[in-house]
Chains A and B, each alone.
Chain A
């Protein structure tokens, strides 16, 4: 029997509508009691005075690169990076090598994750074989081996006929379909948002309509198919408007996420040909950022993610057009949310936490993201006042490519508990 008592923290559990100073008592990996001045005796006590105690964060969009590109990230380094950011559950995207379009890869990830015993990893399988947008993957096999969703992340399922079939087939097996919505014929081989900054830098731009079109197509097909359809990393005015309209029209099967960098930063970050700011979808202009924040505030957006995308250094010390795409984010996502949404007065803290805990857990239908009695004891304890300057060299992640590098953020994980065990304590992983 292992027991742990977290005392005197401000417990914020949006799923239980709790926001009060209280204690949390954990036994054998489960939450046993939450309340004021608990009497239980525990083997270990954590004094959380002045800190907030939340469910461990759930990030349904990450790239851990294993199997295949263990030089960029492994399930181990990715999991440690997650713990350092207060994240205890992730959904890994299937674009590994080989691609997770078959049960073997899914089973490998689950087996390795169990051995590691760090966080909960939910693999996503591919929508199509080899993510080439042609033949459907064996979704029933993927589901039975433990995949919680399917996605061809990195690319859209370009052919609408294939996407419709994929949705109808996914619906048959009650599988969540996540889609990277970006019509390739409209992206003009761009490397950043098309706008004034791309014009000044002379870089090929990706017009926003590439995403707008992809999202509109996806919503239309979701309406037709009735499949559970989730839009990955939205970044434009029109794509959040499409999602808002879909919800108003009563499409309860459609959800959407925003990656935290897309409400925090603009395409100005690309100046100086900063390759850390190269990502797909690209960082947009301020008008898009404003629309994204408005959509977060009015409830259009269902959850926040990182799209954590680690790269080796040689992929980023390249001319911008050739550099690897993506930014790491697991160790900064809470701080980014707290800094750019809460501290700036856009969102109450509890609402931000909801978007990073029970709301994403509901999308993947996993019993995570809550501190309710009986729930898995996945808990994050943050200091919301702590100000720090991001230094990517200090990350647990192998990916030292962070678009927030050098920026001052507010809020940091102090302790992270996963499966009832203290795994992260003041900057150190405990294993």
Chain B
């Protein structure tokens, strides 16, 4: 028999957040790709996230009684911590599974593992894995909302959202029309790029990419971007410099001779930073390989660096998403087909 739970009266902070939400819901039930996110969704997520950011670590009771599994089948520091803290600050119970201690190591199939986790009646499952499309595949077959926290070379949508929020706040604008974003580094193996390029396109930014040919996937210009082999040319006139890490663990080995040569050719130095527009900002999804993709002096505390701002925005974005996804005003539930 279903038990109806009554919600206790909201706190002042919760009433304040509700005021920003204005009874709106997202158009999607799982967050798998930026392709699913409409401009209305973006407005809602950003408005709510900004307010969450103001409340820092305040514990909201919005998602009380709901549970979340952080299923990180690949190593993660910031994303896993960020999702976990976000859920806890919404009063969710969370647990984490990883590949080393999980049944996938015993030969259990990916879908069986995730179906089992979903059977604990969890509301959200955050998945990071090495296989592109795996979150999309399981999302079709489980009732829990799936959040893609990075799938292979494909996408990392919450990273794209936090990056966009960081840029929009920097330029105090609702879109990025007239702004040039130069993305430097290992495009091919980067899911950060996969989400970034999609969200920047939605926000009408001019996108440039600088990388050796070995780091450029086929037909990447079809995203509507301009590619450069010479990073200095790509930086002239840039408003945002976005450096990506060389993903040796994802197959980048052999695409460049040495990290030493890469650092000299594509690493963002103080001198290179000066080629960009005055007031340009430097961003990086982390983890930074100091003196390889970005020179040490520029990393966190340089006045033009927004790397720590990105981390803070990540927390706010994830809180906004978890609230909006798990606590729907319209009461609609996700459709899925059990296997």
Residues from chain B with Cβ under 8 Å of A317 in the complex: 109, 111, 339
Interface of A is mostly: loop
Q: Which of B129, B133, B153, B222 has the largest number of chain A CB atoms within 10 A?
A: B133
Query: Do residues A273 and B136 form an inter-chain contact, with CB atoms below 8 A?
Result: yes
Residues from chain B with Cβ under 8 Å of A320 in the complex: 131-134, 137
Is A35 in contact with chain B by the CB < 8 A criterion? no
Residues from chain A with Cβ under 8 Å of B208 in the complex: none
Residues from chain B with Cβ under 8 Å of A198 in the complex: 217-218
**A205 (CB) vs chain B CBs: closest residue:** B218
Interface size on A, residues (CB 8 A): 21
- Given A199-B220, A202-B191, A273-B136: A318 and B151 within 8 A (CB)? no
In-complex Cβ contact of A273 among B133, B218, B219, B251 (8 A): B133
- Given A203-B132, A320-B131: A196 and B154 within 8 A (CB)? no
Query: Do residues B129 and A319 form an inter-chain contact, with CB atoms below 8 A?
Result: yes
Is B163 in contact with chain A by the CB < 8 A criterion? no
Is A314 in contact with chain B by the CB < 8 A criterion? yes
In B137-172, which residues have CB < 8 Å from any A CB? Answer: 137, 151-155
In whole angstroms, how far apart are the Cα atoms of A202 and B218 in the complex?
11
Rounded to whole Å, the gap between the CB of A3 and the closest CB of chain B is 51
Query: Do residues B219 and A202 form an inter-chain contact, with CB atoms below 8 A?
Result: no
Is A211 in contact with chain B by the CB < 8 A criterion? no
In-complex Cβ contact of B110 among A199, A202, A204, A319 (8 A): A319
In whole angstroms, how far apart are the Cα atoms of A189 and B220 in the complex?
19
**A189 (CB) vs chain B CBs: closest residue:** B251
Is B267 in contact with chain A by the CB < 8 A criterion? no
Query: Do residues B218 and A195 form an inter-chain contact, with CB atoms below 8 A?
Result: yes
Residues from chain B with Cβ under 8 Å of A201 in the complex: 132-133, 154
Rounded to whole Å, the gap between the CB of B268 and the closest CB of chain A is 24
Is A71 in contact with chain B by the CB < 8 A criterion? no
**A273 (CB) vs chain B CBs: closest residue:** B133
Size category of the binding interface on chain B = 20 to 34
In whole angstroms, how far apart are the Cα atoms of A199 and B190 in the complex?
11
In whole angstroms, how far apart are the Cα atoms of A394 and B132 in the complex?
31
Is B212 in contact with chain A by the CB < 8 A criterion? no
**A197 (CB) vs chain B CBs: closest residue:** B219
- 0 or 1 for each of A183-204: is its CB under 8 Å from B? (1 = yes): 0000001000011101101111
**B155 (CB) vs chain A CBs: closest residue:** A202
Query: Do residues A318 and B110 form an inter-chain contact, with CB atoms below 8 A?
Result: yes
Residues from chain A with Cβ under 8 Å of B251 in the complex: 189, 204
Residues from chain A with Cβ under 8 Å of B339 in the complex: 317
Is A272 in contact with chain B by the CB < 8 A criterion? yes
Rounded to whole Å, the gap between the CB of B216 and the closest CB of chain A is 9
In-complex Cβ contact of A196 among B136, B152, B218 (8 A): B218
**B111 (CB) vs chain A CBs: closest residue:** A317
Is A321 in contact with chain B by the CB < 8 A criterion? yes
In whole angstroms, how far apart are the Cα atoms of A384 and B27 in the complex?
45
Residues from chain B with Cβ under 8 Å of A199 in the complex: 217-220, 222
Residues from chain A with Cβ under 8 Å of B185 in the complex: none
**A202 (CB) vs chain B CBs: closest residue:** B154
In-complex Cβ contact of B136 among A207, A272, A314, A321 (8 A): A272
Is B314 in contact with chain A by the CB < 8 A criterion? no
In whole angstroms, how far apart are the Cα atoms of A320 and B132 in the complex?
7
Is A322 in contact with chain B by the CB < 8 A criterion? yes
Residues from chain B with Cβ under 8 Å of A189 in the complex: 251
In whole angstroms, how far apart are the Cα atoms of A88 and B251 in the complex?
46
Rounded to whole Å, the gap between the CB of A260 and the closest CB of chain B is 26
- Given A202-B154, A203-B153, A318-B110: A196 and B222 within 8 A (CB)? yes
Rounded to whole Å, the gap between the CB of A318 and the closest CB of chain B is 6
Rounded to whole Å, the gap between the CB of A110 and the closest CB of chain B is 36
Residues from chain A with Cβ under 8 Å of B194 in the complex: 202
In whole angstroms, how far apart are the Cα atoms of A196 and B151 in the complex?
18
Rounded to whole Å, the gap between the CB of A37 and the closest CB of chain B is 56
Residues from chain A with Cβ under 8 Å of B151 in the complex: 202
Query: Do residues A318 and B111 form an inter-chain contact, with CB atoms below 8 A?
Result: yes
**A272 (CB) vs chain B CBs: closest residue:** B136
Q: Which of A195, A201, A205 has the largest number of chain B CB atoms within 10 A?
A: A201
Rounded to whole Å, the gap between the CB of A269 and the closest CB of chain B is 14
In whole angstroms, how far apart are the Cα atoms of A1 and B174 in the complex?
86
In-complex Cβ contact of A319 among B137, B191, B217 (8 A): B137
Residues from chain B with Cβ under 8 Å of A194 in the complex: 218
In A295-329, which residues have CB < 8 Å from any B CB? Answer: 314, 317-322
Rounded to whole Å, the gap between the CB of B142 and the closest CB of chain A is 13
- 0 or 1 for each of B209-225: is its CB under 8 Å from A? (1 = yes): 00000000111101000
- 0 or 1 for each of B107-133: is its CB under 8 Å from A? (1 = yes): 001110000000000000000011111
**A195 (CB) vs chain B CBs: closest residue:** B218
In whole angstroms, how far apart are the Cα atoms of A73 and B219 in the complex?
39
Query: Do residues A196 and B219 form an inter-chain contact, with CB atoms below 8 A?
Result: yes
In whole angstroms, how far apart are the Cα atoms of A204 and B194 in the complex?
14
- Given A196-B222, A320-B131: A202 and B137 within 8 A (CB)? no
In A317-343, which residues have CB < 8 Å from any B CB? Answer: 317-322
**B140 (CB) vs chain A CBs: closest residue:** A272
Query: Do residues A319 and B154 form an inter-chain contact, with CB atoms below 8 A?
Result: no
Query: Do residues B152 and A203 form an inter-chain contact, with CB atoms below 8 A?
Result: yes
- 0 or 1 for each of A116-134: is its CB under 8 Å from B? (1 = yes): 0000000000000000000
Rounded to whole Å, the gap between the CB of A276 and the closest CB of chain B is 13
- Given A195-B219, A273-B137: A203 and B154 within 8 A (CB)? yes
In A200-219, which residues have CB < 8 Å from any B CB? Answer: 201-205, 207
In whole angstroms, how far apart are the Cα atoms of A207 and B217 in the complex?
11
In whole angstroms, how far apart are the Cα atoms of A201 and B134 in the complex?
11
List of 7 A-B pairs having minimum Cβ-Cβ separation, nearest first: A202-B154, A273-B133, A319-B131, A319-B134, A196-B219, A202-B132, A202-B153
Given contacts A317-B111, A320-B137, A322-B110, 15 further A-B contacts (CB under 8 A): A194-B218, A196-B218, A198-B217, A199-B219, A199-B220, A199-B222, A201-B133, A202-B153, A205-B217, A273-B132, A273-B134, A314-B109, A320-B133, A320-B134, A322-B131
Chain A residues at the B interface, C-beta cutoff of 8 Å: 189, 194-196, 198-199, 201-205, 207, 272-273, 314, 317-322
- Residue pairs across A and B with Cβ atoms less than 8 A apart, 18 shown, are A195-B219, A196-B219, A199-B220, A201-B133, A202-B153, A203-B152, A204-B153, A205-B217, A272-B136, A273-B134, A317-B111, A318-B137, A319-B110, A319-B131, A319-B134, A320-B131, A320-B132, A321-B133
